Amino acid sequence: GQNIDQPTEMTATEGAIVQINCTYQTSGFNGLFWYQQHAGEAPTFLSYNVLDGLEEKGRFSSFLSRSKGYSYLLLKELQMKDSASYLCAVRDSKSGGATNKLIFGTGTLLAVQP
């Protein structure tokens, strides 16, 4: 089966670091995406990992371990505007033919407190 798991909610303090985990089980694997979604808005692309290791982009980093079916998104120096849902999505190489569908988790709602 296909399954993507993320915590439902997390709370963190402004200025701190938070790690949002994602575990997945899919038929095939062809990349993992992280998106940020503010309430009432569309998801915006944050990162893409296809090889093991850490990808850093400013205050945000994303890590992937394909053997463990595991990824995390690391947010540093948290700001109030980082309060949002964070969606993990896996591209399943065995579905959707050449297009390879994305399978989304239900998202982690992060609340940043002063």
Partner 1 sequence: DVKVTQSSRYLVKRTGEKVFLECVQDMDHENMFWYRQDPGLGLRLIYFSYDVKMKEKGDIPEGYSVSREKKERFSLILESASTNQTSMYLCAIGSRNEQYFGPGTRLTVT
Binding site for partner 1 (CB under 8 A): 31, 33, 35, 41-45, 48, 50, 87, 89, 96-99, 101-102, 104-107
Beta-strand relationship, 102-104 and 108-113: unpaired
CB of 112 to partner 1, least distance (A): 21
Tokens 């850093």 — which residue?
56
CA distance 26 to 12: 30
Q: How far is the CB of 111 from partner 1 (least distance, A)?
A: 16
The minimum distance between CB 101 and partner 1, in angstroms, equals 6
Question: Residue 2 and residue 100: Cα distance in Å, rounded?
Answer: 14
Q: Which is nearer to partner 1, 51 or 58 (CB)?
A: 51
